[in-house]
Amino acid sequence: MIQARYSRLRHLLFTLVMAATGVGIIVTALVQAWDGLDFVSLILLCTLWILATYLGVRLGGGDMVYIDASVGLAALVLFGSAEVFLAAAVGGLIGVVSNPREDSLFLERAAEVSRKLLVLAVLSPSAHVVSLAVVGNLTGLAAQASLLVFGLMYALLDLLTLALAQSLRSGANIARELIRVSRPIALVYVGHVSTGVVIVLLFDSLGYVALLAMTALVLMMQNNFNLLLRIRTAYQETIQALVHAVELQLPGEEGHAKRVADLSARAGRYLGLSGASLERVGYAALLHDIGKIGDERCAEAGSPDEHARVGAEIVEQIPFVSLAAPVVLRHEDRVADICTADDNELLTAVLLVKAASRLDRAVLVQTEDSPVGAILSSDFDDFRSTAAGMRVVNALYAIAGAWTMSDVLSLGGVET
């Protein structure tokens, strides 16, 4: 799988560069300011960074995002660069290593901390300018506006570097990755930036109390957001168990729904889908054959419309996945009929699920471990007859064209 190996190589190179950059920033900070370090501030900031990193947000696609904008913004403006860099490095590393929901390699975790250090290093000169503007003029509109603009710069640069890392890992366009990553956590960043601005404005009168109290407030908000995401994850696991029950009664179907969901999500990300749209595709892909449960007639190849209708009725009764019902209902329609839909989001979702399902079933009947690209070139003429269908097939080709049968089956945990 040449394309996948190339993506892994790019990601490894990025990881190594980020790790080396982080080491360089820390060494430089130590050499330049060791004698003048404020160890009280250093310990306090380190503790706050541990907490901010420990409460990382795991998104629906499995990505772990560490949001520390409130701490980083306030620290850059209020404290020396050496204390900030060291606290971010030590606290961040302790936080990601101790996070029980983080399953990446240590080098990748270190690279993520280094990415954060790079953001701090790039913004450090601007922070000095903002600090000079704010000191002695906390009530001035210009000072407050400069703080807000600086906070937005921090959030944007953090998200841009995160999108770059994800782009190198997945091979997707960086602009699409930026949209995908930003949508579900944009409001969390707004909360962090606002809190960071308030910390700076209150620090002159309240000191460390302002830093501790406001950081605790925003981290409580972030923890509640995490709890919501965990509940949604529990729902997803429940759905997967239900889907597995369906597949147990259908010979040769083991892992089909999971593979379709994975392929659909990857292609959806490539097309720029994110947030609710990507979640809708994922649920619809997992549940597209749910109508076959307990009904042998629906399990027969000759009654696709029936199982789609029954499946849509089942999905519609489950509130948090009900938006997937129209996709389940139409995934057996002809491509030409699907493309008559006025709702472009629905149209894309249905085509993604239909194409991924067809591709997986085509792979299963292959006698040789040949490239998936050959199937996409020969078995999808009806998709190529429409612009929307062509976009979906091209997305699948971009992510899986060089894959083989073994690569596709591995998505569903099937041994070959």
Q: Are residues 172 and 79 in the same domain?
A: yes
Q: Are residues 195 and 263 in the same domain?
A: no
Span 183-218, pLDDT tens digits: 778 888 888 999 988 888 888 888 888 888 888 888
**Which residues form the domain of 329?**
249-410
Span 239-266, pLDDT tens digits: 878 787 777 777 667 788 888 998 998 8
The answer as to whether 416 is a domain residue is no
Beta-bridge partners for 371: 404
Structure letter (DSSP) for residue 56: P
Q: Are residues 153 and 81 in the same domain?
A: yes
| Predicted pLDDT of residue 232 | 76
Instruction: Reply yes or no on whether the pLDDT at 41 is more than 90.
Output: no
Span 101-139, pLDDT tens digits: 656 666 777 778 888 888 888 888 888 888 877 766 656
pLDDT classification of 301: cutoffs 50, 70, 90:
very low
The answer as to whether 236 is a domain residue is no
| Predicted pLDDT of residue 354 | 92
Instruction: Reply yes or no on whether the pLDDT at 302 is more than 50.
Output: no
Beta-bridge partners for 65: 57
Distance CA 318, CA 153 (A): 41
116 token code pair? 């954060």
| Predicted pLDDT of residue 11 | 56
| Predicted pLDDT of residue 415 | 42
Distance CA 14, CA 168 (A): 8
Span 318-338, pLDDT tens digits: 877 888 899 999 988 888 888
| Predicted pLDDT of residue 3 | 47
pLDDT classification of 353: cutoffs 50, 70, 90:
very high
Q: Are residues 298 and 173 in the same domain?
A: no
| Predicted pLDDT of residue 156 | 92
Span 149-194, pLDDT tens digits: 899 999 999 999 888 887 777 666 788 778 878 877 888 888 899 9
Q: Are residues 181 and 284 in the same domain?
A: no
**SS3 state at 379:** coil
Instruction: Reply yes or no on whether the pLDDT at 298 is more than 70.
Output: no
Q: Are residues 134 and 188 in the same domain?
A: yes
- Within its chain, how far is the Cα of 392 from the centroid? 21
pTM assigned to the model: 0.64
Q: What H or E segment, with its residue span, contains residue 111?
A: helix 106-134
**At how many degrees (to 10) do helices 208-248 and 174-206 cross?**
150
Span 54-96, pLDDT tens digits: 777 777 556 678 888 889 899 998 887 778 888 888 888 887 7
CATH number at residue 320: 1.10.3210
Q: Could you give the percent of the chain with pLDDT greater than 90?
A: 7
How much is the mean pLDDT over the chain? Answer: 79
Distance CA 337, CA 193 (A): 47
Q: Are residues 225 and 255 in the same domain?
A: no
Q: Are residues 14 and 155 in the same domain?
A: yes
Q: Are residues 226 and 287 in the same domain?
A: no
Q: Are residues 205 and 345 in the same domain?
A: no
The answer as to whether 319 is a domain residue is yes
Distance CA 357, CA 286 (A): 10
The answer as to whether 239 is a domain residue is no
